[in-house]
Structure 1
């Protein structure tokens, strides 16, 4: 089930249907709540493997020295920090996030790491990016697209701000392809994860939402079709860890 299954005028917030106008605020509350424990959240959700996925995501991106890159849902800066080595001193990295708390955590963490030059932080909505057409060589979004209210609008905006020949990359939890693993994954997501969230972050509800949001996200082929409908060329995807996550690519022709 995905965002096209709701009643008119509503969208999904986890397994709940809510008015479209309310989702951004509800998601914002989740990420304001978990901002300080975001890395812990990802460790709990992925059993620590998210760090490997992110390194692979960046290492296989189409990007070179001097490139200008937009990392949407930039969170705590993990992707941007990895991209720094790819674009070099002449490159420019823009971290965009709709949530001010997440953006502040990311900026502080990057400064603590000594990553200052070449970084810009912009609080922005992926559905209406405040950048001119053809501004970036690469646009990435890691573990953020499923939280966007209007994914079609966000994909269209990603295409708009790309230069011709530029690449968009989406790293996101997806549909598990191994039948034997699905019940194990469901048990971890819906039984274990909220309890861990309560234990380590005093926040079971946010972790429950995050697990539910994965199941509502469009699976691999559906997201590929959405990227094609948005106007991307040469769309494709690669499953990682049996489809727990997938990397989707599209290019601006």
Structure 2
């Protein structure tokens, strides 16, 4: 694969087209994104996200960036944790997802200590050494140039700050991978068709998971971006993993 092309699921597309294609997927699914997450994971995604927040060590007064934060479910938890002296920036590259997040948080009665920023993870519009914590849940695999995004995150973290990446990964339990394949490529598109009237977007999501770096590869990418102390935690047999890294 050269610099002029990249993967969109299993397809090869011109690099400059990937962001547009990903945007189309999330514009399509935004209004039913939370419902589909519950159905696809049988609600377990909430436990994965809770684990990620727990090991992030969010404290009162922290300044947090919830990157690719979508519908704001992590932001909703963390804004309560940072308190009146802290703040959370909910950021996403997709306007439909960000608007869904804003609506959801307002419905939950959250209107203070939250900022909404439309931003590209590869070119974050924030000062150097700005955030105590950056979280990114199920967003990194959709980024065209992951190395640039990780370097951008490293830049905006304060010294001593932490990055938490929750993402689908590679199953490590023997016998799990073939079962997971059947579920991903047969069941998910069917659920997308029945619930969201969009089978193709959920087929892309399944394919994007398979194209995402495995646990060790992503760890190496984080280290190459200047992050330290990188470790990861496999959840649900490695179907997802949480990577935690620090800026020293």
- TM-score class, shorter: over 0.9
Give the corresponding residue for 1:3. none
Structure 2 residue corresponding to 1:62, chosen from 57, 63, 85: 57
Unaligned runs of 5+ in 2: none
1:30 aligns with 2:42: no
Give the corresponding residue for 1:112. 107
- 2: CA distance, partners of 1:243 / 1:46: 14
1:139 aligns with 2:134: yes
Q: CA RMSD in A?
A: 0.9
Q: Is the 8 A contact 2:36 2:195 kept in 1?
A: no
- 2: CA distance, partners of 1:61 / 1:45: 25
Shift of 1:44: 3.2
- 2: CA distance, partners of 1:183 / 1:136: 40
3-state SS of 2:164 partner: strand
3-state SS of 2:188 partner: helix
Q: How does 1:4-23 map to 2 (within 5 A)?
A: 6-23=1-18
Q: Is the 8 A contact 1:69 1:137 kept in 2?
A: yes
- 2: CA distance, partners of 1:186 / 1:27: 22
For this pair of structures, how many residues does the alignment match?
248
3-state SS of 1:90 partner: coil
Give the corresponding residue for 2:230. 235
Unaligned runs of 5+ in 1: 1-5
TM-score w.r.t. the length of structure 1 is: 0.96
Structure 1 residue corresponding to 2:125, chosen from 130, 134, 137: 130
Q: Is the 8 A contact 1:97 1:123 kept in 2?
A: yes
1:88 aligns with 2:83: yes
3-state SS of 2:56 partner: coil
1:49 aligns with 2:33: no
- 2: CA distance, partners of 1:166 / 1:25: 31
Give the corresponding residue for 1:100. 95
1:221 aligns with 2:203: no
Q: Is the 8 A contact 1:44 1:193 kept in 2?
A: no
Structure 2 residue corresponding to 1:247, chosen from 218, 223, 242: 242
- 2: CA distance, partners of 1:82 / 1:168: 17
3-state SS of 2:77 partner: helix
Shift of 1:9: 1.4
Shift of 1:43: 2.1
Q: Is the 8 A contact 2:167 2:240 kept in 1?
A: yes
Structure 1 residue corresponding to 2:70, chosen from 63, 66, 75: 75
Deviations 1:3-50 (A, max 9, x none): xxx244110000001000000000000000000011122123323210
Deviations 1:159-192 (A, max 9, x none): 0000000001100000011121111111110001
